[in-house]
Structure 1
């Protein structure tokens, strides 16, 4: 059987291994061994699973694909940031990032090939959306990024802020995050997993009903509908008020503080009046505002605000009682902003995932 004809194990680890164990008549503890090799011991291939008999390893290799992507480019920055450009079996490409910050080891993963939300300043959505990623393709990003860590490093946080709109692929995302959260997976607490969205109220409400209360980050980028319709075109069909109401409902159910993301664009959404409007929106809400100075994208006409504009914007927000954090831009030299690396690359020599 060709590799592409085999089922991808990471799409449904438990069900696939349970079926295999029954058909192959192997002891159930072999299932736990495979899970441990995948999620704890960071195995790169079946042969690395050395406490499995050779015949068992050969049978698994015959039945399942373990990896379905290829690392097209692996870039590293001086600040410890590492980024993978992954080529998919159908020819699409996605990006995922590892960020190191003191003791934190955070990964940023993608949920779609491209993005359909149309944010005018974002490299991910310039070509629209091709398709949703499978649960296995999402899990695969997590495991490939984990394998970049040294043996004494452990993943501590996951942010779903890569390519795509996560809530537009919620079914598969939740399957993937379950593997990250469970004790015999990566054991990452739900409070250390953040899902980012431009704001899709029905999907936010559905997420609120989910058994795990992940952290929610909402990408605002504008303090009023007129400007947001310009920057985030999908807002024309939604509106800020319904988004904020859905966020309030999520907070009421989960008890987790909502993070609001705001990409600061020079001379577009960085004026003092924008800061005052933003402060009024967030007043009285249990929220953190994460302000991100724009990371320029080749071919787009947007720039980074000056230090003076950033300082003024921050001062107004703080005077308005907003808890605000200005994100330090990491990985600038490796095109670490979402979608940049994919757009910057021509076909390159591919690197084996087992390296």
Structure 2
């Protein structure tokens, strides 16, 4: 990363205003720069600023921390996959989804991931580094610029590459940036944070007074299966994870979402449904059932439609709130990590 320049949104507004003051710039310039930056302008394009100030800003700051590098458009729905190129050359990805209520953006929180889940493409090359708050924020700014006059991102899910709560401080700083009424003003209730189950971080997060939706990647009805697919399960057993989920509901008054990737022959039989329903008994929650996105490097497959529907129906009959998530962008390798890995492989072959 270029250590000679500071990412604009990694410093507070007051600190930036003070820096401008030290350079004999008018007080209003700070807000002027911020408002242009959140619209996706680079400093050189901020023509309402004096040329000398544009040059000074360019020499000291990075306005757009995550510019879009490539766009892949689905031919089967309105999903778009972005590759963003960071200032150090690293590539991350995001997914823009169009729903009847507007645009939802799935963002990355790390370059790669170190959690090692056996069904996920993001973790194949490990974790390069954490993203800064500005780089997470920059993904949203770039998406809004891409959307243009058709609208803005109104919902955000932190479910791209990386474990959000493993990058805790930057994730919290990002949430406060997008929620800031003077910036993007996105409501916390329109933001979902996904975690593979870092129990201490869940307890820490519930004390932040940030009423975002907590999505826990569960993917199994018991410890034995979860340990086979998710290394983190060997550190935090399901009993402790369920205790944390119940504490989160009690503290925040918000239900917890459990993400459940259905894997053929692994976790979606009738007996698995019975175990899962028993595990979730008396917990204010919802199960988001996801047909597995097949990853070439992993020897795992999604179940048939009949099997996953039978699993869902069994859960419903046992009183579990459950829906099957509609797969989006399948033709553009929309699952997290897939497109980035393909791009990295192509770069190596050059």
Q: Tell me if both proteins adopt one fold, taking TM over 0.5 as the criterion.
A: yes
For 1:196 and 1:210, the matched residues in 2 are separated by 16
Question: What are the superposed Cα offsets for residues 119-144 of structure 1, whole Å, 9 maximum, x if unpaired?
Answer: 10100011222211122221111211
Which residue is equivalent to 1:181?
179
For 2:232 and 2:2, the matched residues in 1 are separated by 39
**Bigger shift: residues 311-320 or 78-87:** 78-87
For 1:141 and 1:265, the matched residues in 2 are separated by 31
User: 1:280 deviation in Å?
Assistant: 1.2
Contact 2:43 2:57 (C-alpha < 8 Å) held by counterparts: yes
For 2:42 and 2:275, the matched residues in 1 are separated by 53
For 1:125 and 1:142, the matched residues in 2 are separated by 23
**Bigger shift: residues 28-37 or 64-73:** 64-73
2:344 paired with 1:347: no
Which residue is equivalent to 1:28?
27
Question: What are the superposed Cα offsets for residues 75-118 of structure 1, whole Å, 9 maximum, x if unpaired?
Answer: 11131111112233434321111111112211111111111111
Query: Within 5 A, what are the aligned runs for 1:292-303?
Result: 292-303=290-301
Which residue is equivalent to 1:52?
49
Query: Within 5 A, what are the aligned runs for 1:215-294?
Result: 215-294=213-292
2:40 paired with 1:43: yes
User: 1:71 deviation in Å?
Assistant: 3.8
- Aligned to 1:347, the other structure's residue is in SS state helix
- Aligned to 1:262, the other structure's residue is in SS state strand
For 2:35 and 2:326, the matched residues in 1 are separated by 35
- Aligned to 2:233, the other structure's residue is in SS state helix
Question: What are the superposed Cα offsets for residues 208-265 of structure 1, whole Å, 9 maximum, x if unpaired?
Answer: 1113222100000001000000010111111011111111111111111111100011
Provide closer, same or farther for how the CA distance between residues 213 and 134 of structure 1 changes in structure 2, counting only shifts above 3 A: same
User: 1:47 deviation in Å?
Assistant: 3.5
Contact 1:35 1:184 (C-alpha < 8 Å) held by counterparts: no
2:307 paired with 1:309: yes
User: 1:331 deviation in Å?
Assistant: 0.3
- Aligned to 1:156, the other structure's residue is in SS state strand
RMSD over aligned Cα, in angstroms?
1.8
Contact 1:98 1:105 (C-alpha < 8 Å) held by counterparts: yes
Unaligned runs of 5+ in 1: 349-355
Which residue is equivalent to 1:352?
none
For 2:331 and 2:265, the matched residues in 1 are separated by 24
Q: How many positions carry a matched residue from both structures?
A: 345
